[in-house]
Amino acid sequence: MALPPVGAQLLVFGAKYNLNTDTDLILDCVARAGYAGVEGAAKDHARYRRQLDERGLRFGATHTGVGALRDVTPLVQMLETLGGADVNISGLLTWEGRTLEDYRGAIAIMNEAGRRLRDAGIHLHYHNHDFEFEKVDGEKTGMDLLLDGLDFDAVDLCVDVAWVLRGGADPATFLRAHRDSIGFLHFKDHDGEQWSELGRGQVDYAGVMAVLPELTGARWVMIEQDSTRMDPCDSAAISRAYLRETFGY
């Protein structure tokens, strides 16, 4: 089967560049590195779409929080303009609240919003961090609650493999165990102290890549790095080159 396209989550550029004012520079870096698309949008959606089109880039996804799902109309309008069909969400209703009731409340909102978005042709994905692997309800973890409570016809998982590792699980094992519930992927790496370019950290990418063909529902692989010790353009290029040169991907 064809593997998902590889895009760039633009978070890494934020420490040095502004997506709204340095748009051309950022998108030139992304296109030059060989990415197929991006996750993250400038404020002027119509202009941003033109800038993407000029470089042959696709709009892969937007990333927001659960609170933004109470009214999905702005998301639908945004994605119609940008030509995208995917929304990633992180966290619960607040970043501080991680109780059983916090999970239940967030899951209910995600399920309802996911159904409305799916009716509009848009796919909703829950993006994990490490805290979902902590126990919340007796022996159950937050991830257990999500897997039990999400309506996977409406909202599925955006699995961030480095956060899975930092949560104490093996990324490849987790991906294989939940392959039917995965609709999006974030590839990132961590060296034990800091975020790092792909292949320079502790994530077993050989294992991850061995599982990738089994993830038939995955719509995108986005390379994401929260921060870097080098110029973001160089960071993005190194990570993309790693997948291409090491795995032919």
- Could you list the beta-strand ranges (E) of the chain: 6-9, 37-39, 58-65, 86-90, 123-127, 135-137, 140-141, 155-160, 182-187, 189-190, 195-196, 221-223
Contact 205, 170 (CB under 8 A): no
Give residue-wise pLDDT tens across range 122-152: 999 999 999 999 999 888 999 999 999 999 9
Please report the pLDDT score of residue 204 as a whole number. Answer: 98
Question: What CA–CA distance (Å, rounded) separates 23 from 49?
Answer: 11
Statement: the pTM of the whole predicted model exceeds 0.75? yes
180's CB contacts (< 8 A; 6+ apart) are 152, 217
pLDDT at residue 1 tops 80: no
Give the β-pairing of 195-196 and 189-190.
antiparallel
Answer yes or no: is pLDDT of 180 > 90: yes
Q: 39-59: per-residue pLDDT in tens?
A: 999 999 999 999 999 999 999
The angle subtended at Cα 74 by Cα 114 and Cα 17, nearest 5°, is: 105
Tokens 């960071």 sit on residue: 235
